[in-house]
Structures are given as structure tokens and as C-alpha cells.
Amino acid sequence: MANDKPVSLEERRRGSISVPQEKKRYLVRTERCGDLVIHVQGDVTQQEKRAIFLTVHDLGCNHWSFEDFVNRPCMSDIKERSIFIHVDVPGHEDNAEALDPAQFPSLQTLGEDLVTVLDFIHVRYVIGLGEGAGANVLARFGLAHPTRTVGLILINCTGSATSVKENFKAKFVNWKGKEGVVSQSAEDYLVFHKFGHQLMNENNPDKDNVMKEFLHRLRATINTTNVKHYVHAFLNRKDLPLKQYKNDVLLITGVLGSYANVVEKLHRELDKNKATLLKIERAGDVLSEAPGKVAQSILLFCKGVGLLTSVTLPGVERQRTFSGSSSEGDRPRRFSRGMSMEEYDKPNIRRLSITIGENNGGK
């Protein structure tokens, strides 16, 4: 299959190949995880001139969590110069059938099998961009296939196995709601997992709308049986040996998030020459509460690995592209002979641990 030209689901139904669209949906058959539905934003045929991101969503979500983020105005310049491959975890595509528990893979298996997605659409390497359980999956992908990643951007990533406290809380979750609907206790668990202490943050006027939208999509489009399987896979995760990963890592967390302390602990275990920790104050769900700050950190990270050098965002000084280098899609290099001294002296965010307050960074 890896040698066949990718055909979208829409094209299969029409029986013909259409002109490439801005967004396409594909069905990818993997060896151990069954069929994966992916959503591609951007033209894969232009990958030589683009940065390519592979995204995996958190519990209670599917591809829309990252698709919504990418479509925000603060991401427009990055989106224009990039390709985003959004993966739906097994059974999490809209209106999916319920999977048997035995069919749902572990986070480790899912991470290892993601290479099939890259092979299917003929992509050589990506930047991993994941949130929560999806960040854990992408970290395992990076460890299993290091030559297929440029680096990892991990939001609220956990590095250790499930704690006793976490397991204790999960035991009281009742997943059997009426007529297949998620029970109140399950909704409460998922909301706290994603939004953390934002529930107690009265300074966020949009928090109710954000959480209502999250619950609306959870109730309306995602198979709750499969959500339960993903939660169980997350709770059964093993320790993540991320310190073995040799490329660059950006860890992002909200100070009000439920996993902020866990992310800080993971950062302490990593090589500070390779890993950066970004903590955003007054935020739990950073993608919805602080999208501008996340977008700026993504851009800085990409510039640090030699990608998106011509893209600017508010508050980020323009950097000249590498003179004498080829397209941005070439294998990134840390430095180039054509790099000016001004570019060489730019701060390298990989060396830093940063806390961004509400008055710093973009919105």
C-alpha cells in the first residue's frame, strides 16, 4: 500500500481522482491498529517546500481539536507554509462504530504504527504535535522511528505510568450512560483531564463556551465506547523513556492544567540542550485559552530546527532565510554556512524553560 498513490475516501466513492483540495480525508490500513482515518490540511505534493506536522488528539476529542487550532487566525501564516496530518485514534472518527476492547491498541502500539500513515501519503519526516494522551502516542512514535521525525511538540505530555491517585479517581468513573450517552461522571473526568483547574478560574470569560463546545462534540459525534477504550489505554500506559529521544522536544503546559506538575517532572529528566518547557499562566487548555502563545512557540521551535524561516508572527522578529540553502522542506540543519551572524545569535528556545504570563505573547 505504501507504494500506491493515496486516494481519499471521497475519491473512492466517486471512482475518480480529483484536483487536490485544501483538506482531504484518507483511510489508512495499519498492521496492528486496524483502519485509521486521517485528515490532511495542505497539499502533500508540495512537501519539499513545507513544514509537515503529524497531530494526535487527546481523550474525548478527535481531529477537530487540532484542526480548529490550525484554522485560528494566529496560525494562518504557519498554516500557509505547512501541511498538517491529523490522525483520528481508532474508532474516534465522526460517527464511528463501536470497537471491541481487544481491537483497541496500546499507546505504544499506536505510536509504532503511525509510521504507516507517513508511508501511505509518501511523507519522509514530520514534526510531532500532540496533546495529552496523543502527545504520549507521538513521543512513542518518535522513539520508535527517530529518523522520521524532526522534533516533537508535546502538550500536557505524561512521562510516567499511571499514578495510584490517577487510578483511584478513574475507578469511580461510570461509563454506562443512558442509551450510549457518556455518563455525568465520565464527562466530569474528561473535562477535568482536558481543562484542569480552569474550572476554578473565574478570570476566563470564555471557559463555559469552550467546555460546552467540547461536551457538545463529545455527545454528538464521537463513539463513547471507543472513548472509554482510549481512556483505558491511557491509564494502562507504561513509562515513557523520552530521554532516549535525540532530537529536539518542546513541552507545553498550562499552569492551571491537571498535568502541569507531571510535565515539569518530565522536563527535569530530559537533556536541557534538547528539551524546552513552556508554562503558560492562567491557562488549563492551552489550545483554546492561549492559541497565540502556542502558535508563537511552535514557530520559534520550527525556526530552531531550520523550518519556517520566512514566517513571522506578532512579537517575533523577522529572520532571513538561509542564503544558499534549498527549499524549507529539505532535511533541516541546525546551522548553515549561509546563515548570517544575526541569525546565528538568535536565542535558541531549546535551552530555556519559560513561563508565559497573560501579558506576554500573542493571543
pLDDT in tens, 68-112: 999 999 999 999 999 999 999 999 999 999 999 999 999 999 999
**What are 174's three cell numbers?**
461510570
Angle at alpha carbon of residue 99, lines to 119 and 212, rounded to 5°: 95
Digit-coded pLDDT (tens) for 248-302: 999 999 998 888 999 999 999 999 999 999 999 988 899 998 999 999 999 999 9
Residue 213: its pLDDT value, please? 85
What CATH number should be reported for the domain whose range is 18-356? 3.40.50.1820
Q: Where are the alpha helices (DSSP H) in 60-206?
A: 64-70, 76-80, 107-113, 115-120, 133-144, 164-171, 184-195
Residue 14: its pLDDT value, please? 41
| Phi, psi (degrees; rounded to nearest 5) at 131 | -125, 135
Q: Where are the domains of the chain?
A: 18-356
Q: 243, exposed or middle or buried, with CB in 10 Å at 0-12, 13-18, 19+?
A: middle
pLDDT beneath 70, residues of the chain:
1-22, 163-182, 197-206, 313-363
Residue 169: its pLDDT value, please? 61
DSSP letters, 122-143, are: T---EEEEEETHHHHHHHHHHH
Cell numbers 470569560 correspond to 205
Residue 156: its pLDDT value, please? 96
Closest CA to 325 of 315, 334, 313: 334
Label residues 35-44 b or e (16+ Cβ within 10 Å = b).
ebbbbbbbeb
Residue 266: its pLDDT value, please? 96
Structural contact between residues 130 and 106, judged by C-beta atoms closer than 8 angstroms? no
| Amino acid letter, residue 47 | Q
